[in-house]
Amino acid sequence: MKLNVIPVPKQVELNGGQTRVYKAELCLVPPSTREAAAAVRAFSGYALKLGIKMKTVRGDGAIRVVLNKNGRFRKEGYRINIGKRRVEIAAADSTGLNRALATLLQLAEPAEGGKCIALPECRIKDYADNEYRGMMVDLARYWHPFKYLLSYVDMCWYYKVSVLHLHFTDDQSYTLPSRLYPKLSTPGRSYTFDELTELETYAYERGVQLLPEIDVPGHNTGFTVAYPELFGNKGIICQHRDSVSAVAALFGELCETFPRSKCIHIGGDEANLKKWLDCPDCMAYAETLGIDTKRESPDVICDKLYLNFILRMAEAVRTKGRTPIVWEGFPKAANASVPKYITVMSWENFYQVTPDLLAGGFRIINCSWNPMYIVAPDVKWTPGEVNDWSVYKWRPVHPGSPYIGRSYECEPTPAVLGGQLLAWGDRMPGTYKDNIDEGVTAERALLAERLPYLAQNTWNSVAKVEYNELAPCAGARGAELDKLIN
């Protein structure tokens, strides 16, 4: 017999594996923290959706939750000991505790009308291999009502996915609120500060990091529509002192909106930089940066302006104590001059190839187009392909990639922080029109179907589990997750 837990725990000892019934009582053993109490409350909420009425008690509850800061736990590690009479859960902090509680929920069944909890007798020791285990949702190309954002956090919590990446802005809409530049927000398609604060707390209590993104300098025609006097009218953010400072200030505001996000995504992909060349303001600014616009080639001028912009945004984020993340879009020539505190999402193996990024000393996140991209409803790879992927393997789709038609695989290295699934909204407006609930739930189902394999391959990036072995368990987990998010 094995445990149907995804991701599969590193060490499991079944003490006979007999199912035991315990009072549905959680006791948070002192000294504890406010975060640990919040994690226990979140667990009780999830358990209730599965028909288990947990009580939080003082003294000797059936399930004892112990925070042990000095205990020897590896990354996000935890221990669960389900004995004959009682259950003990231990972790060093609330993040480890959330991981333990997700395992506990996957093991649990209601008993005696929900007053008790049935669990298999066992001992579990577990920890994460990769710190970055991510899921991205494109909120800009298709409107996702706020209630769905909370459900993405639930999905992440359930599978121990550590990062929820929110692509808030693109040409189609700007879904963030702003006090500095309120006209940027798309009417009827933007979140409020209160909603984002609620989301932030909800995610924090569940041990899920939010990675908010404002994609600049391309992918953001809204800037030039809302404030042409500041950002120009060329569809790409103009480069001059005031526009660069304004965008840097927006990142400062984003850091305040998400005070506990360790990383901030500043975009940096697929910008048509050539538009800067025929703008006198941009060229005048380039001269102030020491770029000789008369003698340098157009490519070099654009690359240098682009690099200056990205560095300013990265610095704006870094001065707030956060790590900036970019797409692989910066020019190859700039590889040496881009500071290595910037983490790079390697997705296309075209603008930059993975071996160059690794040789350049960057820390990277695997966002390989194949099989990690989903463009609902019809562009996707199978869950089996996600299972066969690893954080060290890329399958480019761009015809210009040197690895087209084959894959690139690197040696295991800590420079690869992990990987993520990404749901893009390009085709959703055309497919689902204004039937927002249908569109969002269809996309969410595609994510939910693949998430167990992403989780398995990032929590356990070395030990492989065959698809046929994991699939039945993933089916059962998916059915349970449905109860949590609907």
CB of 242 to Zn ion, least distance (A): 11
Residues that bind Zn ion (CB under 5 A): 232, 238, 279, 281-282
CB of 251 to Zn ion, least distance (A): 20
Distance of alpha carbon 43 from the chain centroid:
21
Closer to Zn ion by CB, 127 or 276: give it. Answer: 276
Contact between 219 and 267 (Cβ < 8 Å): yes
Closer to Zn ion by CB, 277 or 445: give it. Answer: 277
CB of 237 to Zn ion, least distance (A): 8
Closer to Zn ion by CB, 279 or 481: give it. Answer: 279
CB of 232 to Zn ion, least distance (A): 4
Closer to Zn ion by CB, 208 or 248: give it. Answer: 248
In the block, residue with structure tokens 């395992």 = 103
CB of 282 to Zn ion, least distance (A): 3
CB of 271 to Zn ion, least distance (A): 13
CA distance 375 to 388: 20
Q: Can you list the positions of beta strands (E) in 269-409?
A: 323-327, 343-346, 364-366, 373-375, 393-394, 408-409
CB of 234 to Zn ion, least distance (A): 6
Structure tokens at 211: 């990675």
Nearest 10 degrees: CA dihedral of 407, 412, 417, 419? 30
Contact between 99 and 76 (Cβ < 8 Å): yes
Contact between 343 and 263 (Cβ < 8 Å): yes
Closer to Zn ion by CB, 91 or 286: give it. Answer: 286
Closer to Zn ion by CB, 228 or 402: give it. Answer: 228
Contact between 120 and 443 (Cβ < 8 Å): no
CB of 285 to Zn ion, least distance (A): 8
Kindly give, in sequence order, each residue whose CB lies less than 8 Å from that of residue 241, ignoring residues fewer than 6 positions away. Answer: 285, 288
Region of 16 (left: φ > 0; alpha: ψ -120 to 50; beta: rest) is: left
Q: Where would I find the H helices in 163-279?
A: 193-205, 221-226, 228-231, 241-257
CB of 281 to Zn ion, least distance (A): 4
CA distance 486 to 438: 13
Contact between 465 and 456 (Cβ < 8 Å): yes
Contact between 267 and 216 (Cβ < 8 Å): yes
Closer to Zn ion by CB, 150 or 300: give it. Answer: 300
Closer to Zn ion by CB, 280 or 399: give it. Answer: 280
Closer to Zn ion by CB, 82 or 216: give it. Answer: 216
CA-wise closest residue to 220 among 276, 286, 268, 187:
268
